[in-house]
Amino acid sequence: MVITAAHIVLGGCIGITFLGIFTMLGVYLYWGYTRMDEMLGHVRNCQMITGNRFYLSMGPWGRIMMVGVVAGYLACPGFFIRRGLLDADEINNFPQPLKRRLIISHYIMGGLLLSLLMESAAVTLIRHWPVI
């Protein structure tokens, strides 16, 4: 197999994407240990979030997952509020700076995962593309 410039560029992009993913996991871990009580204190009556509290007993990965769950529910609350699974007053009274950071981090993680999927598709195309 011949390594071309496309392979090198794509490898660099994948490396940057993985660096971003691990950085965001570190941020989620930090928030999980420093801000978890504050997050869960503001959403005590939300059925969806209290149903996912078992993640807290799973160690560091559970804390990362719980921050992701809270961020996901804050990013798209309308669907869950209409079905009565989240409390609209608690979502509205969530502290704005933390809420904004969680929503932005949720979209950053989604973008990084989408980027990784596109890069893996590009690797597959390059690998099976006939060399001229």
Q: Supply the pLDDT for residue 75.
A: 92
| Confidence (pLDDT) at 132 | 57
Per-residue pLDDT in tens (0 to 9) along the chain, 132 residues: 678 888 899 999 999 999 999 999 999 999 999 999 999 888 887 888 888 889 989 999 999 999 999 999 999 888 888 888 888 888 888 999 999 999 999 999 999 999 999 999 998 888 887 765
End-to-end CA distance of the chain: 13
Local structure of residue 129 (DSSP, 8 states)? S
- Looking up tokens 């990362």 gives 64
Q: How many domains does the chain have?
A: 1
Range of the domain at 40: 5-128
**Predicted pLDDT at 100:** 95
Check residue 99 and give its pLDDT. Answer: 93
pTM of the predicted protein model: 0.86
